[in-house]
Structure formats: C-alpha cells, structure tokens
Amino acid sequence: MAVSLTELAFDNRFTAELPADPMDLNRPRQVHHAAYSRVQPIPTSSPRLIAHSPEVLEMLGLDASVAETDGFLRVFSGNATLDAMDPHAACYGGHQFGNWAGQLGDGRAITLGEIVTDTGERHMLQLKGAGPTPYSRTADGLAVLRSSMREFLCSEAMHHLGVPTTRALSLAITGDQVTRDMFYDGRPALEPGAVVCRVAPSFIRFGTFEIARSRDDLDLLRQLADHTIRTHFPELGAPSAEVYTEWFAEIARRTADMIVHWQRVGFVHGVMNTDNMSIHGLTIDYGPYGWLEDYDPGWTPNTTDAQFKRYRYGAQPHIGQWNLTQLANAIYPLVDDVDMLQGALEEYTNRFNETWPAMMAAKLGIATHDTNRDQPLIGDLLEILPKTEVDMTLFFRSLADVAVSEGESEPDDETLLKPLLGAYYETDQLTGDVRAETVGWLQRYRGRIAGEGRSDHERREAMNRVNPLYVLRNYLAQLAIDDAEKGETGLTHELLDVLRRPYDEQPGRERFAEKRPDWARTRAGCSMLSCSS
C-alpha cells in the first residue's frame, strides 16, 4: 500500500489522447473541437475533512494513514494539486427533460487526473464543488454541504447495496459560505461550502458523444469513441463499425443492469438527463435523488420534475431506453447502419425483460422462477401496494417473515398480515377491498412458495440478501446534514458505517431502519429536492 499520494501512478490518458481546449481562459464560453479544458481548483479558506471512505482509499492502493495527512486534506479540498495530475473539466452536452440543451460540461467538477493501480484498475479522481470552469455558465462552480453530504453518503451506500455506482473518496467542508436559492423562490441564503471527491473508471457520459455529433464534429466523435473503446472496452478489439455496435450493445446491457438494481432497492435518480448517464453503466451525478418510502411508482424526488414526472420511479426503465436512443443517434455516423444500431439497442430491452422478472422473483423468495407462472403474482402485488401507504423497503424485508413452508397450517387473516403491519404508515388504511386483496395475494404467495421444498429459514436468508433493511432514507441524510452544519459529524460516521452492511441485522441500530417519521413528510430535503446545490 502506498503511504503517500505522491506514490499514485497517474497516466492521465484522457487528456493525453484527446484534443484540449486551445484557449487558456477560465470564463463561461462555448468550447469547440475539444474534449476538455484545463482548469485549476480554487483554494478554500479553512478546509476540514468531515469523512472519507476507507474502502475507496484501499481501492486506490492507499494506506489508511494517508487520510490523516495534511496533504490529503489539501489535495481533496482543492487547495493543492500533485505534479503528476492534469486537472481539467470535460466538455459534453445532453438532453435535459427530453429537450436538447446544447453544451453543458463540467460546470462544478474538476477531474484531477487518472491513476492506474498495481492491479491494473483505472480510476479518475474528480472534485465536485472546487470552482468555476468554462462550462459553469452563470454559476460559481461551488457546492454546498447538503448536496455534497448526500452525494458522499449515497455513493457509498449504493456500492454496498450492490448497485453499480461511482464512488466517493472524501468529503471536506471548505470554511467558505456559498449563496444558494434552495427553493428557487427568490430567497437566497448563505450555506456552508463543501467539496466531495468522487471516483470512477471515467466520467464519460452519453452527452460526451452527443455534443460532438450536434456540431457535426465527426473527427472529435471518432476520437472520443476510439479512446473510450481502447481504454475502457479493450476486449472488444480495434474500433470498426462492428466494434462500435458491440460497444453500444454493451453500454445498453450495463444500463439495463443498473436500472434493474435501482428498481430493486427503490432508488429514484430524479434527473436522468443524458448528461447524467455513464457509458460504464454506473449511477452518476447524485443530485435530487430519493428513495421510495411509501411505494408509489409515480413519485419523483425532483421539484423541477413535479409537474410532468418524467423521471418518476416507474418511468426509469423507459427513460433508460430513451436515453440510449439518443446515444445511438449520436454515434450513428461511426456505424452508418440503422439496423445494426437498432439491434444493439434491443439488447437493452432484452436484458431488462430477462433480469427484471428474475430480480422480482428473488425479492419474493421464489427459488425456481417461471415467468408465465410468476408474472401475474408479481404484477398483482405491484398493483396492490400503491393502494395503501406502505414502506417499500420494510414490506419486502418483512415478507420474508411470513410463514409459508409446506406443512404449516393455514393461518387466519390476522396471523397472515401480522409480520407486515410494521411496514404500513397507517394500518387503518388496510381495510375493506385493499385488505381482502392483500390477504388474497398472500394466500396465493404461500401456495406458490410452499411446494419449492425450502424451509422458511432458507427462504428468509435468500430474501434478506436481496431486500435491504437499511437504505439512505431522505430524512436520515438530512439529519446528518443538520448535524454537520453545526460541526457535529458523529451521525455521518455512524450512518456511513450502518450503510456498509445494508442487508444485515445490526442490533442497537434499529432506528436507522424505521419508516419515515411524520415530521419528514414535507420538510425540505426529506421529501422532494431541487437541483440547487
């Protein structure tokens, strides 16, 4: 393990192989014929490390002691760079809420460089909130503690849930105040500034290719695609029309896998614009995300999306396909064959239609999934759940406690429902037709499971491996933010530790698995969020 940041092996392949912005001018502007602009982080007044991820430190090949050094704090708060780094901001575009937005780019993210570990893994280190870039438009390039805390915690929580994601190395408070209009209502306020260091194989997005295509810059488009394939998909071979097609098909499959995981754990991204879609199939850009608490497929955490709910939980699978279609349009000149790209795009649907039912069967504890037999059972449950206010995480976790083993006597309605009652926000809603439908479904469920030959203990263990007990509920993140703004970081560290083992019972930490409290129903940060950060 390296005991100093200077031992990291930077090769900065992205900046070495792709064209740079020819202008050395850090002001908002259109950047043409370039993949990035070189830019330096801005110093902060009195940085302080709030938290770091020991797992990411180890992934980078760094000894645990490195996080305790002044050099670590200085580099990952934007106050210093290493000679081997090549700080830059990437140029990309994107479709936002279904409309082409033109050039976007890293407006508040500065990539420090790329390292290659002793095991051959490639990681980009990127600071979010470290100052303005040519892509900042009218913004200041900074970030506040509330959004940075949410990104730091959620990146690591998602990883431990088994969801493909970017990672977060560190979270530092800057000591500077940042002005934000949190509700976009003309009442700006000062908030504590912060910088989060996030880590990924790359931060290349669908929009990276869209911007080049939108400008008919086919040379840049080809350079971007060739670099991406040779660096991150070398197993596909030398770039060609066929390889570009297979590369796109692989992105489609990875995207489907990622979204199936989102649906499994109840995660809602909130802003699935094409500039927020990673070509690695990783969850990227944690902005106004949220977790389904009461099961509502129509819920979105994003106030900007409140009217049309384009990015609601139930629409995420469709939006994934729509976004891939925009990427297909962008790379079409490289393939020049509609049928080839259409076939590759269908890999998304094929993969999703294969893995989503299997995932749902696993959540239900079905050992031998049969699509024709099980789809009505799955579909009927998802029709029943929104009829009452029932916590998604706790419902599926509690379902494992329903006795279904062959030989068990037929329980009465009260006994059948009892293990699930703790998941309902208002048990008096579980009456009449809804109660009858729920009981009827549970009876069918018991009948389906009973003949599989597994004991309740075996089924419970299997279900508890895919149905988490602990997720980063919105109100828990907000409580950690509240404490951190007062200088108290104990809850941040405890929450981070709880989320390392989201599938395990953790005695003494039951409060982190509780339903959303009433006070959090409408409080800012606990229900819906804006993009302001």
pLDDT in tens, 13-41: 999 999 999 999 999 999 999 999 999 99
Q: Which helix (H) or strand (E) holds 37?
A: strand 36-38
What pLDDT does 198 receive?
A: 98
Q: Which residues of the chain have pLDDT under 70?
A: 183, 406-408, 531-533
Task: Give 353's contacts (C-beta < 8 A, 6+ positions apart).
Answer: none
What pLDDT does 85 receive?
A: 98
Question: Mind giving me the DSSP string for 253-315?
Answer: HHHHHHHHHHHHHTEE-S---GGGBBTTS-B---SS-EE-SB--TT--SBGGGTTT-TT-GGG
User: Exactly one of 275, 294, 374, 391 is catalytic; which is it?
Assistant: 275
What ranges in 87-234 are assigned the alpha helix state H?
145-161, 206-214, 218-232
What pLDDT does 326 receive?
A: 98
Domain locations along the chain = 5-203, 216-287+302-362, 364-533
What pLDDT does 529 receive?
A: 79
Residue 18: what residue type?
Answer: L
Phi and psi torsions of 20, nearest 5°? -95, 155
Q: DSSP label at 165?
A: B
What pLDDT does 111 receive?
A: 98
What pLDDT does 533 receive?
A: 57
185 flagged as catalytic: no
What pLDDT does 526 receive?
A: 85
Q: How far is CA 160 from CA 448, 497, 505, in A?
A: 31, 11, 15
What pLDDT does 285 receive?
A: 96
Residue 295: what residue type?
Answer: Y
